[in-house]
Amino acid sequence: MTARSDRSLVIRQLTGGIAGREILRGVDLEVGPGEVHALMGPNGSGKSTLAHVLMGRPGYAATGGSAHLGPHDLLALPTWQRARAGLFLVPQYPTEVPGVSLEAAMAAALEPLEDGVVEGRLVGTRPAGLSLAGALGAEAGRVGLEARLLGRPLNVDLSGGEKKRNETVQLAVARPAIAVLDEVDSGLDIDALRQVARRVAAAREEWGLGVLAITHYRRLLDELVPDQVHVFSAGRIVETGGPELAETLERTGYAGYEPVPED
Ligand code: ADP
Ligand code: MG
């Protein structure tokens, strides 16, 4: 394996999916620090499955290939250690967690570890002198999330757009090496989309965030300009190009590209 840096996401020939059904059919992808890669493709092509397999969502598993974040073999780690290794997922449908406040969740996520598992991660570095509550408030302001919503249990009773902003606040405070954004634009109005996209784009400069942005819309990519655009079809990347490929797809749609075939 030739990791380009100790904070690159390197995926090689990844296969996997859910029990009894192989959805990913050999994914190859590298996301380096500060890079933005867009992943576009028809409904049902396996984009969210890729995000779940990378993050280790229960019910999803890899069956072959590899995924490393720097020195860390992600597929060998439980989900929380993948997060500790610097991988952050903004899910397509963020989960509500009643009884757990945002601040408590972030405090636990950022708690220093003694097991040495996560050497090299950037998690939790924030401007000196800023408390966790202060950092959350400042980040909420940047993406237009009302401060009073920070007091709710995690994502509970938030609108679709508020959940996506809330997840972006968590991303900005956690400062991971790599963020996977699964249709972060869904549910966001145009102003919110711009704020979220600009926040993520700024993170490239602020701490070298690498981004894998799953999206159907060029609008996100107008603000979060991708280094590469990949077309995902039937469980693998079938075409790679520059930002112009997103424009072509917006014109032509995914005609000729396929979802995962039913077995
Ligand atoms: P995309 O995000 O590209 O729209 P998904 O990864 O969500 O595609 O889904 C790919 C295929 O796998 C679809 O046919 C979907 O129905 C199926 N699939 C994904 N997750 C599950 C699951 N937990 N149970 C059953 N089928 C699933
Ligand atoms: Mg999806």
Q: What is the pLDDT of residues 203-224, one digit of tens each?
A: 999 999 999 999 988 889 999 9
pLDDT value, residue 199: 97
Spatial distance between the Cα atoms of 259 and 23, rounded to a whole number of angstroms: 10
The chain-wide mean pLDDT, for the chain, equals 89
Between CA 16 and CA 207 the distance in angstroms is 31
The per-residue pLDDT for 114 is: 52
Number of H helices, E strands in the chain: 8, 12
For residue 121, what pLDDT is reported? Answer: 46
C-alpha separations of 154 from 6, 93, 101, 192 in Å: 31, 13, 5, 19
Counting ligand 1 atoms within 8 A of each CB, the residue from 14, 21, 23, 57 with the most, and so the one to mutate, is 23
Q: Which of 54-58, 97-101, 124-128, 255-259 has the lowest mean pLDDT?
A: 124-128
Written as six digits, the tokens of 67 are 């995924």
Comparison of pLDDT for 250 and 74, the residue scoring more: 74
Q: Is 48 within 8 Å of 212 (Cβ atoms)? A: no
**Which atom of ligand 1 lies at the shortest distance from residue 46's CA?**
6
- Percentage of residues of the chain with pLDDT beyond 90: 72
Strands 97-101 and 153-154: antiparallel
Confidence of residue 98 (pLDDT cuts 50, 70, 90): very high
Q: Which residues line ligand 1 (CB under 6 A)?
A: 18, 23, 41, 43-49, 59, 260
Using CB atoms within 10 Å of the CB of residue 205, give its burial: 0 to 12 exposed, 13 to 18 middle, 19+ buried.
exposed
pLDDT of 128 > 90? The answer is no
| Start-to-end Cα distance in the chain | 32
Q: Which residue has the tokens 């994914």?
A: 27
What's the pLDDT at 227? 98
The answer on pLDDT for 123 being more than 80 is no
pTM: 0.93
Q: Quick one: pLDDT at residue 126? A: 54
- β-strand 21-31 against 210-214: which pairing, if any? unpaired
